[in-house]
Amino acid sequence: MTEAPRLEPHPTALPADELVELYRLMTKVRHLDTSAIAWQRQGILPGYAPMQGQEAAQVGSVKAMDMDRDFVFPTYREMGAALAAGVDMPEFMATHKATWNGGLYDATKYRVTPIQTVIAGSALHAVGWGHGQRLDAIREGRPETDLPTALIFLGDGASSQGDIHEAMNFAGIFKTPVVFFVQNNGWAISVPTEAQVAGGSVAARGAGYGIPSIQLDGNDVEAVVRGTRAAVEHARSGKGPAIVEAMTYRRGPHSTSDDPGRYRTLEDERRDAGADPIESLRDRLLADGTLDADAVTAIQAEAAEFEEATRLAVQAQGPRPGAEMFEYVYQEQTEALKQQATQWREESEHV
């Protein structure tokens, strides 16, 4: 059996303008994420899954993709990835407002699939899509050296699900063009990584499937971009899947219904969280003269304006017609469902 190689980061350093754009996006993400928690407390949103501390992992990984042909498969915590891909944020937030399941945005336009709340479920979808891209190339007689590639988001907790084994095993066998992007944020809700990931590393599991991997600092956005680019180049070239494990930290609760104080202390968070990804990039850009204090202030103001515009648009969203709950269950409605729909309309709409 041939041991799966370790991937090395892409050799090209990021230019200053790209780092500034990453900082701008990450700042918007932080503002929106922090505000979304407040919106939930104010009753604007029924629920939300915070992502503070994971901005570099999400923004950096998406920026390594070609969003004209690749596809991103998120979970319920990838607001930063969606924003980096250009998804309309009020339409994205429709799921958190319970206006629409999976988001109102056009998945085919933005090439980001609807929000996935089934733990590890998006991995199966992504591998299926990637396998389809490879089969299309074979059927059309195209060389398998420039394939559209799927970026799959999962957490360290999701890596313990059986779906991940099936997805990685299938992808490894059939050389599927996918990148498994693991945000190892230290916690599977209230269970620490060391208590639910045997061996302590998701990347290390790649060897068992013949999948090359790279483990990197998920708080360093340049490291994320370069590591993900290397993984994408590997998958796109027909060599099969790759694993990127971004070591980061979930600085807030698992969701707005979670109380992290029940399983860790503030001292634990301060000790284990590591460098703040946004502050680190800001300090770097200030130190090398790429940005000055006025530029940072302007970026912060832009992010605050963006957050306010998003809030107003989310609040303006009206409820979806209640009858839709009956229309998207089966391709052809059953008699029982038709009866329920009729009864619901009589009681709710008086028709």
Please give the full DSSP string across 148-184, using - where no structure is assigned: --EEEEEETTGGGSHHHHHHHHHHHHHT--EEEEEEE
Q: Domains along the chain?
A: 16-320 (3.40.50.970), 323-351 (no CATH)
**For residues 150 and 126, is the Cβ–Cβ distance under 8 A?**
yes
pLDDT at 350: 67
pLDDT at 151: 98
**For residues 319 and 308, is the Cβ–Cβ distance under 8 A?**
no
Token pair belonging to 328: 């998207």
**For residues 206 and 5, is the Cβ–Cβ distance under 8 A?**
no
Strands (E), 69-174: 71-73, 150-155
pTM: 0.92
Please give the helix or strand (H or E) that residue 213 lies within, else none. Answer: strand 213-217
**For residues 20 and 282, is the Cβ–Cβ distance under 8 A?**
no
Give φ, ψ of 20 to 5 degrees.
-65, -40
**Tens digit of pLDDT per residue, the chain (351 long)?**
556 778 999 999 999 999 999 999 999 999 999 999 999 999 999 999 999 999 999 999 999 999 999 999 999 999 999 999 999 999 999 989 888 777 889 999 999 999 988 999 999 999 999 999 999 999 999 999 999 999 999 999 999 999 999 999 999 999 999 999 999 999 899 999 989 898 879 999 999 999 999 999 999 999 999 999 999 999 999 999 999 999 999 998 999 999 999 999 988 888 888 899 999 999 999 999 999 999 999 999 999 999 999 999 999 998 777 778 888 778 888 999 999 989 988 888 765
Q: Which of 132, 126, 134 is nearest to 239 (CA)?
A: 134
Q: Which of 105, 76, 80 is nearest to 90 (CA)?
A: 105
